[in-house]
Amino acid sequence: MSIEMRFRVDRGGFALDVDLTVPARGVTALFGRSGSGKTTLLRCVAGLERAAGGRLVVDGAVWQDARSFLPTHKRPLGYVFQEASLFPHLDAAANMRYGLRRTPEAERRVGWDEVVELLGIGHLLDRHPDALSGGERQRVALARALLTSPRLLLMDEPLSALDHARKQEILPYLERLHDELDIPVLYVSHSPDEVARLADHVVLMENGRVVASGGLSATLARLDLPLALSEDAGVVIEAVVGEHDAHYHLSRLDFPGGSVFVARRPEALGARLRFRVHARDVSLARERVEGTSITNLLPARVAEIADADTPAHVLVRLEAQGTAVLARITRRSLDQLQVTPGMQMWAQIKAVALLS
């Protein structure tokens, strides 16, 4: 259950050199700045870019190696481009049928009604692409790709051409896709928010090379990656709604290693949620602090200390029974508290950002 990719592309000023294996389940984010080779890698996987001598094995099936090259139309994949690429001469339904008709009946696993319902496009089916908004077009394009029952879904920054409101409109659909359909996704993005919200596995790319590849939480918590030096350094924690406090209008989110209280959530008890904790919102204390307005305290052990984005700060990685948290504190605090690896401390979480 994995996707093996080995590609080498040399095009004058740009070289892609990738040898990578990622899980063939869930969402794998190819993350990096523009020009880092994410899109080229995706195009190689699709067969749109012909990387001579490349190798690609998806879930045991060889799509490309030294001797063979499956052309794009023979690869069971779905591709959602950056900008909607609906056929302008066909209405939404005909666009969606285009791929479906060309998929052998025996291979069809994704149903029409299921997709229409999942993406909420029932009322758009007889419209032509120029009568759809940007977000609606992307939803139809996604439906069209899904209807070919792909073994692998490739998405090239599908939200980047949309404004903030449209992004918010489409993200829940992508999350449902993740939860309800068992199709592995390679998702190209340069937005930390999208990655935090959607990805299970992260591949960090720079200058055509893979810098890091691993689970989302583990990768975000690594201090040796450029991620740690960004303003947004922090972790993503997956939690379950454990309790609703009707009196104070709070909800408790439980995760291995602790729990946090957040403003009352609409989700039912037991629902899964992701939230993000920025390193800048976490402070450290040696003892459990009494008399503070901060409600979210987490006992955790110091695992690692590294330089942060300014000389005045350091990043501390803490472990709380498998859940990692990053704290960005001043170098002075580090010395005054005599923080050293292995030490047991209290992480005070000032704010959490819910991702769904």
Partner 1 sequence: MQLSAQDLTALWITFKLAAVSTAILIVICTPLAWWLAHTRWRGKTLIEAVVALPLVLPPTVLGFYLLLLLGPRGTVGRFFDEIGVGHLAFTFTGLVIGSMIYSLPFVVQPIQNAFAATGQRMMETAATLRASPLDCFLTVSLPLARRGFLTAAVLSFAHTLGEFGVIIMVGGNIPGRTQVASIAIFNHVEALDFAAAHALSAILVVLAFSMLIAVYAINRRFKVVGVAQ
Looking at residues 47 to 86 of the shown chain, list those that interact with partner 1 (rule: CB under 8 A): 47-48, 71-74, 77-79, 81, 85
CA dihedral sign, ordered 95, 39, 107, 173 = negative
Position among 15, 57, 90, 337 found at the interface with partner 1 (CB under 8 A): 90
In the complex, minimum distance from the CB of residue 85 to partner 1, in angstroms, rounded to a whole number: 4
Angle between helices 112-119 and 92-101 (to 10 degrees): 140
Residue 264's Cβ-side half-sphere holds a number of Cα atoms within 13 Å equal to 7
Distance separating alpha carbons of residues 129 and 194, to the nearest angstrom: 25
Residues paired with residue 210 on neighbouring β-strands, in sequence order: 205
Is 38 a residue that touches partner 1 (CB under 8 A)?
no
Is 208 a residue that touches partner 1 (CB under 8 A)?
no
Distance separating alpha carbons of residues 165 and 180, to the nearest angstrom: 24
Backbone angles phi, psi at 30, to 5 degrees: -95, 110
Query: With respect to partner 1, which residue has the nearer C-beta, 153 or 352?
Result: 153
CA dihedral sign, ordered 212, 218, 223, 229 = positive
In the complex, minimum distance from the CB of residue 21 to partner 1, in angstroms, rounded to a whole number: 23
Return the range that interacts with partner 1 (CB under 8 A); candidates 97-105, 215-223, 231-239, 288-296: 97-105
Query: With respect to partner 1, which residue has the nearer C-beta, 72 or 330?
Result: 72
Is 160 a residue that touches partner 1 (CB under 8 A)?
no
Is 91 a residue that touches partner 1 (CB under 8 A)?
yes
Query: With respect to partner 1, which residue has the nearer C-beta, 72 or 356?
Result: 72
Residue with tokens 């063939």: 24
CB atoms within 10 A of CB 328: 21
Query: With respect to partner 1, which residue has the nearer C-beta, 27 or 143?
Result: 143
In the complex, minimum distance from the CB of residue 102 to partner 1, in angstroms, rounded to a whole number: 4
Distance separating alpha carbons of residues 352 and 240, to the nearest angstrom: 15
Residues paired with residue 64 on neighbouring β-strands, in sequence order: 56, 69
Backbone angles phi, psi at 87, to 5 degrees: -70, 120
In the complex, minimum distance from the CB of residue 124 to partner 1, in angstroms, rounded to a whole number: 15
Backbone angles phi, psi at 220, to 5 degrees: -65, -30
Position among 8, 128, 209, 331 found at the interface with partner 1 (CB under 8 A): 128
Name which of 22, 141, 28, 36 is nearest 82 in CA terms. Answer: 141
Binding-residue total with partner 1 (CB under 8 A)? 28
In the complex, minimum distance from the CB of residue 276 to partner 1, in angstroms, rounded to a whole number: 33
Is 103 a residue that touches partner 1 (CB under 8 A)?
yes
Position among 22, 143, 145, 233 found at the interface with partner 1 (CB under 8 A): 145
Is 37 a residue that touches partner 1 (CB under 8 A)?
no
CB atoms within 10 A of CB 302: 19
Is 138 a residue that touches partner 1 (CB under 8 A)?
no
Return the range that interacts with partner 1 (CB under 8 A); candidates 94-102, 110-118, 203-211, 215-223: 94-102
Is 259 a residue that touches partner 1 (CB under 8 A)?
no
Tell me if residue 271 falls in helix, strand or coil. coil
Residues in the site for partner 1, rule: CB under 8 A?
46-48, 71-74, 77-79, 81, 85, 87-91, 94, 97-99, 102-103, 128, 144-145, 148, 154
